[in-house]
Each structure stands twice: as C-alpha cells, then as structure tokens.
Amino acid sequence: MGDEHSDVAASLNNLAKLYYSQGRYLEAESLYQQALQLMRRLLGDEHPSVATILNNLALLYEFQERYADAEPLYQQASELRRRLLGDEHPDVAVSLNNLAFLYNLQGRYTEAEKLYQQALEIFEQRLGVNHPYTVSVREKLARVCAQLASEQEKSSSETQR
C-alpha cells in the first residue's frame, strides 16, 4: 500500500482521535494536519473525508478554547458537506450543530440559534423527531433560546432604569 494511500490518511485521523481522547493534544493536532494534507493530496479538496478531518481538527481546537482556529474549519467542513452531500444530509446537520455549539460557547447566541434551527430541521426530516441527534439539538436550541430571552429581559430592564 505505501505511505501515499487514503487508508494511511484515515489511519492518521483515527490515531489522532485516539490521542485526542487521551489528552495528547499536540500529537493529535499534528496527526490531524498530516491526515488532512495527505487526504487533500490524494483525493483533492472536494471529498467527504476532507470534511471529516476538518471537523475533527476543529473539535480539537474548540476543546482547547482555540475558537478562532476552530471556526473557519467548521465553516469549511459545513460548506464542503453541503456541496458534496446536499443541504439536507445529516452530516451537514452535524456540521451546523458543531458550529452552533462553538458560537454558543462564545456567547454568540443569535448565530447559534439560527444554526441549531437549521440542524434540527434536517435531523427531524432525515432521522426523525425521536432520534438522539434530533433530541440533543432540540435541547441545545431550547437552552440558547432561553439565554437569548434572558439577555433581552436584562436589556429591557436596564433600558427602563
């Protein structure tokens, strides 16, 4: 098989996920980057595996609170999945959910609400209303809506003073 094979890139990605789960973040980051570079070289930029690795690297950055590094990767993964899989594919919803979660962590609730709503619609249509992904996104959307309502209430009470 040799080093220049997509299975090698997939293995690098899987090993990176293992290192991430073990808290070996620098090693995980290096392997994700190697996997991404190899996958792009072998399969091109427009491949679902590229989107998966972009998403995984973004998850690592998000966990490390490197939000500015995570956001463009989540956006690229989402856009790539839309182009390759169509707007209604569950993997697109996963990407939207991940980006929404990042926005939520940053207090960007309006942006998070919009993306959670899109993800929820896709999951409901494609996986059903009782699927665990659907339920999870619905709960996150409810929390974001509550946060937005709380902020609006706080803002209006400050305005009335």
Are residues 147 and 108 part of one domain?
yes
- Collapsing DSSP to helix, strand or coil, 63 comes out as helix
Are residues 90 and 58 part of one domain?
no
The predicted-structure confidence for 114-148, as pLDDT tens digits, reads as follows 999 999 999 999 999 999 999 999 999 999 999 99
Task: Grade residue 157 by pLDDT with cuts at 50, 70 and 90.
Answer: low
Are residues 114 and 57 part of one domain?
no
User: What gap in Å lies between CA 160 and CA 111, rounded to an integer?
Assistant: 27
Number of domains in the chain: 2
pLDDT for 161: 60
**Residue 123 identity:** F
User: What gap in Å lies between CA 55 and CA 51, rounded to an integer?
Assistant: 6
Domain harbouring 50, CATH code: 1.25.40.10
Residue 148 has φ and ψ, to the nearest 5°, of -65, -45
Tell me how long the chain is: 161
Are residues 123 and 52 part of one domain?
no
Decide if 143 is inside a domain. yes
pLDDT for 2: 65
Query: Whole-model pTM above 0.85?
Result: yes
Output the CA torsion 48→52→57→58 (10° steps). 90
Range of the domain at 156: 86-161
pLDDT for 99: 98
With the C-alpha atoms ordered 130, 131, 135, 138, is the resulting torsion angle positive or negative? negative
When pLDDT is averaged across residues 52-59 and rounded to a whole number, the result is 97
DSSP class of residue 14 equals: H
Q: Are 78 and 96 in contact (CB under 8 A)?
A: yes
Q: What is the mean pLDDT of the chain?
A: 94
Are residues 154 and 118 part of one domain?
yes
Decide if 125 is inside a domain. yes
pLDDT of 59 above 90: yes
Of the given ranges (19-28, 62-71, 145-154), which has the lowest mean pLDDT? 145-154
Task: Grade residue 55 by pLDDT with cuts at 50, 70 and 90.
Answer: very high
pLDDT for 66: 98
Helix (H) or strand (E) holding 70: helix 67-85
pLDDT for 20: 97
Are residues 101 and 50 part of one domain?
no
